[in-house]
Structure 1
Amino acid sequence: MSPGLTMTRRIAQLAVGLFLYGIGIALMVRAQIGIAPWDVLTQGIQLHTGIPFGVIVIATSVVVLLLWIPLRQKPGIGTIANAVLVGVWADVGLAWFAPAPDLFWSIVMLAAGLVTIGLATGMYIGARFGPGPRDGLMTGLHRVTGWPIWVVRTGIEVVVLIVGWLLGGNVGVGTLAFALLIGPLAGFFMPLLLVPAATPRASADTATGAVQ
């Protein structure tokens, strides 16, 4: 694939991935049987402030990015796009989908949301434009503290979950399902959607105008 086509694919994959991530969040919220830890916090804040869900997602992302500064983490284009667009698309999804009318539809919407978020994660990470704000916080703390990545991630999400739950966010079976399944789902999609990096030979050929 030529460098131009590769870049086009990366940009398109990032854009679609962030769109799907927001839609996946909305599906889980509308399922009403438990949401991801960071979304529990968002929902809890929304209950006390009345601020739209997506706006809180964006504001939280900005706060998390500020925490990157002492960790000396450097955001990529994808990081900034993630911070802005996921919240926008989450609000769009919440406007599209009505709350699940019964348990059957709750389960369907939860499953659809989980798969959508897993696919979206593979797409935006595979585009190689930088990690999301929360992923970068996790890897930055891992680098600075030396703690295992699973310890850092679990610690962050437990704190966020508890605060969100105390604020009234929806903790339930969906929260547990997210914790158990999002890793395997993202792990399945990421290898399939990883955009290959340009090889040194390809870069040299491009620079000299060589034709294969």
Structure 2
Amino acid sequence: MKKNAALFLLLFIGQYAYAQFDDLNHIDTFIYNKVYKNIAAYQIKHVLANAGDRPFSATDHFFYESVLPDADARMGMVIEKTDLVYPINTYDVYRITMNGMQFQNKDKIMMTLSGINPGHLFLVAVDKQSGGIKFISGQFFLSAISADFNLNRNDPSSFINYLFFKTYADELKNIQFGKRILNLCYYRAFSTALQKPVNLVLDTKNMEVVKMLGQKTE
């Protein structure tokens, strides 16, 4: 039953995108469509997981209306091209800022879906030649990007730039290597969002996962 409802929800995600402008000539809309679909799918996954084994019908709109907006609404995203240099030079890096699950309908009325917090910052990279997109940091499904960086498992300092990109949504600065225990590398940083020091742990055997304060950045 949960799989049926998930499929039903995913089929509806597309109606909130702007497919007629889904190309690199309209870069903001291109990024909006890709990011919106990723965030919506990610939130649906967690809504379903939080439901546990509770049965529900695919037409139970009270269950999924907290995830999807009205059909005429557009998610509030501010998309900005950054000066960040991605290791693959055909990619431009974009910062996306959001204020919760906030939408604006055709009448310019702002609406906020309660009970869902997708995060404030997201980072993506777009290949300006092929249109490929990498989801780098934020509360959505992330791309595997470690192979794009010049990482040396024997040199923990080589991971610092990679960690900056991976944890961009956590607003960290001054990332410094602390110590290494077997395959685990420990780093210190300061979170401007939390206004306090934080610790990072990276497993050189699984470099796509970065742990911070006991939480996982996936």
Give the TM-score of the pair, scaled to structure 2: 0.27
Query: Relative to total residues, which structure has the larger strand share, 1 or 2?
Result: 2
Higher RCO (Cα < 8 Å, 6 or more apart): 1
Query: Relative to total residues, which structure has the larger helix share, 1 or 2?
Result: 1
